[in-house]
Amino acid sequence: MHIIDPHTHIWIHDAQYPWAAETTHPPSDNATAEELLGLMHAHGVERTVLVQVIHYRWDNRYVADTLERYPDKFIGVCRVNPEDPAAPDHLSHWTEERGFHGVRLSPAADAIGDWFGGPLMIPLFRRAADLSVPMLILTGPSRLPELAQLLERCPDLDVVIDHMADADPNQPHQVQALLEMARYPRVYVKISHTWSISRQSYPWADVHGMVERVYQTFGPQRIMWGTDWPVCLSRADYGQTLSVVRDEMTFIAQEDLPWVLGKTALRLWPFDLTQENTL
C-alpha cells in the first residue's frame, strides 16, 4: 500500500525567499523540506505534495527549488494571485517552467473573498483544466455554491476541497453543503483537519461521523487523508494525522484504505513510483 501525503507546507527563514509584504507576523520557526523528509521516513510516507504556503503569497520559488532538489519525493501546488487578470499565464509559468502540478485558491467566507464569484475565475479555472492540473480550494461551506456554479462551466477540471471545507459537524447545513458537491464527479475531498474541527482530543472521535458520511457519499476513490504539516502541530503530531485514518476510522473498509491513503492522490498527482524510494 502506497502512502502519499497530499497536503503539507514548507517555509524557511532565508533572505533568498522573503516573506510577502502582507505577512506581518511570519512563523517563528522553520519548516524545511529536510525536516519533512525525516518525518516521512519515520512514518512510511513515500511521497508528498507541497502546497505553497500563504506566507509567501505568489512567490513559489522555495517550493520550486525544493522540487528541483528532490524530484523523486515531492510534487508542488502553487499559488497565483486570483485578483490579477494575468493569473492564468502565471499558472502556466509555474506549471510548464517550474514543474508544479496544481494551484490553490483560498476565498474567505466573508466579503474579502468575493472575488471568487467574479469574472476572473472562469479563465483561471479553464487554464487549470487545459493544463490538466487540479485546483485546490480552501474555503468554508458558504462558498461551495459558488464553486458549484464554476464547475458547471468547467466540468473537465479536477477540484479538491481541502479539509472538508472545515465544515462544523454540529451544523447539518454545513455538512450537507459539502456532501452536495459529490454530484460533480471530478470533485475530491481531503478528510483532513479532524484535529482542528474536533472539540475532543485524539482520535477526535466527535468528527468521525461526518468523515463517515463523506466517505459513504464520495466513495474511497474521491477522498484522501493529509497531514497539513506543520500547521497540524498546534493540536496533532505528524503521526497522529496518519494513524487517525489508518487505525482509528474503522468504518473505512480495509480494501478501501489503499485508496484513501495513497491511490486517490495518485489519480491527481503523477508521482513516478517506479523510482526507488530511498527514504
Task: Convert the pLDDT of each residue in 170-215 to its tens digit.
Answer: 999 999 999 999 999 999 999 999 999 999 999 999 999 999 999 9
Give the C-alpha distances (Å, rounded to integers) separating 233 from 167, 189, 210, 227.
20, 21, 22, 10
- 274 belongs to a structural domain: no
Number of domains in the chain: 1
Arithmetic mean of pLDDT, 74-80: 98
Amino acid, res. 19: W
Distance between CA atoms of 44 and 155, rounded to whole angstroms?
35
User: Over 80: is that where the pLDDT of 277 sits?
Assistant: no
pLDDT of residue 276: 59
- 101 belongs to a structural domain: yes
Arithmetic mean of pLDDT, 227-248: 98
- 275 belongs to a structural domain: no
Cβ 268 vs Cβ 104: under 8 Å:
no
- 69 belongs to a structural domain: yes
Arithmetic mean of pLDDT, 52-73: 98
- 279 belongs to a structural domain: no
- 278 belongs to a structural domain: no
pLDDT above 70: percentage of residues in the chain: 98
Arithmetic mean of pLDDT, 20-41: 96
Report strand pairing: 4-8 vs 135-137. Answer: unpaired
Its domain, for residue 170, covers 4-268
- 96 belongs to a structural domain: yes
Name the average pLDDT for the chain. Answer: 97
Rg (CA), the chain: 18
User: Over 70: is that where the pLDDT of 278 sits?
Assistant: no
| Overall pTM > 0.85 | yes
User: Over 80: is that where the pLDDT of 117 sits?
Assistant: yes
Please, which pLDDT band fits residue 273 given cuts at 50, 70 and 90? confident
User: Over 60: is that where the pLDDT of 84 sits?
Assistant: yes
Helix axes of 172-179 and 144-153: crossing angle, nearest 10 degrees: 10
Distance between CA atoms of 214 and 219, rounded to whole angstroms?
8
3-state secondary structure of 135: strand
Cis peptide before 107 (omega within 30 of 0): no
User: Over 70: is that where the pLDDT of 139 sits?
Assistant: yes
Arithmetic mean of pLDDT, 52-60: 98
